[in-house]
Structure 1
């Protein structure tokens, strides 16, 4: 009798209310469909600019990036800064996995050193920008739970599915609220909430273009920090799919050979 009572009590704590289940099912379905539409691209290379803005001042950096799919929900990426001289050669390598924390390494040419980014360090600023290291990873769906909130207006027009995704793995965020465009399931906006539940940053994504008749990629991402007033803009250009990116070249041992 005691065992049965404890079992019922445990189930009452773990089973979600019936009213919450449809929202979770719908949110999960939206996220899964968006991920499905954005898989199978193989590999790509792209050029970019990072513009840091604080008050009335701004500074610009230029970089090249490569991505390659290595399995279901898994990928590798490499971002290498090319200009200006004080950051030239600095590189971020990410190995992304399905359902668990990614591995990240930072190559610092001035120190001739590869630094592994720890789990606690993933919430830190990526090269002084408003993007955290974890923002530079693929937001693989297995790392989150997804709950549909409502359908509403997209920033800039149109209709969006608004979905809350909560991290299952180590994160500097307690919640990310995501706006998926209902027409193509591209992400138009993400609001980031810290571990205390405060809305700290907003990412606006725009300038989408479709490649190979299937894959949507943005040309502009603006991360606004509501605590500091600072912003970082990433602009992307020259997307090349099936560029022949070798996943074996995207390894920690290869970082010191970057030119």
Structure 2
């Protein structure tokens, strides 16, 4: 609950994102995105991810309407088809644009969507982390459980282990290079998702954070999604 309270009140922000896809052999491909996030009173955040490069994915966009308790709404705009496709709950386990992040991972993990079990406190680097197990409440989740490392000082998440429906360790997310904005809000500069079954990984690097900007609410709609450039 305290984690959520600390994260409230930012209004909105924009940022840049670089996505680096690596296969088992270490070969890389790179993508550039724009990100916009809008805080909504009484509901979850609205998030918009727009691909700029390379040319074959330019203009592709993902819109997420997060909800504290109900299933999130997600839509994908495909410019080649000039079509908005709704991501159904049964497809949330699918890969987001060929990355190791599933559509499910692109939503903010709302507090009410999990049940929790405290495991332990332990050192994590120079910090102390609380290790918690959380169980998704949604039936359509690809995960049976997740194990989360969160520091006790600033409540930043440093690592998440994802276990599939057969309780096999599927993926690990590590977060690094945290920065604080507006003297309050912590944002990780790098997120790395490693798939232990395929040997593939995806690095998301964030930059150019701008808070409380002049964002048009209409951009975070299906109609706005069709106008993304």
Partner of residue 95 from structure 1, selected from 44, 49, 65: 65
**TM-score in terms of structure 1 length:** 0.86
Contact 1:68 1:246 in 2 (8 A): no
Residue deviations 1:51-95 (CA, integer Å, cap 9, x gap) = 000112100000000001112451101000001101100000000
Aligned match of 1:114: 84
- What are the within-5 Å matches in structure 2 for residues 1-259 of structure 1? 32-54=1-23, 55-154=25-124, 156-169=125-138, 170-259=140-229
CA distance in 2, matches of 1:149, 1:258: 44
More moved, 182-191 vs 239-248: 239-248
Higher helix share: 1
CA distance in 2, matches of 1:73, 1:221: 25
CA distance in 2, matches of 1:60, 1:255: 23
Residue deviations 1:9-60 (CA, integer Å, cap 9, x gap) = xxxxxxxxxxxxxxxxxxxxxxx11111111111000001000001121000
| Secondary structure of the structure 1 residue equivalent to 2:56 | coil
CA distance in 1, matches of 2:203, 2:220: 25
Contact 1:92 1:106 in 2 (8 A): yes
* Residue ranges of structure 1 left out of the alignment (5+ in a row): 1-31
CA distance in 1, matches of 2:210, 2:26: 34
* Residue ranges of structure 2 left out of the alignment (5+ in a row): none
What is the RMSD of the two structures over their aligned residues, measured on CA atoms? 1.0
Counting matched residue pairs gives 227
Contact 1:68 1:77 in 2 (8 A): yes
Contact 1:75 1:96 in 2 (8 A): yes
**TM-score in terms of structure 2 length:** 0.96
CA distance in 2, matches of 1:73, 1:186: 22
CA distance in 2, matches of 1:132, 1:39: 25
Higher strand share: 2
| Secondary structure of the structure 2 residue equivalent to 1:86 | helix
Q: Please say which structure displays the higher CA radius of gyration.
A: 1
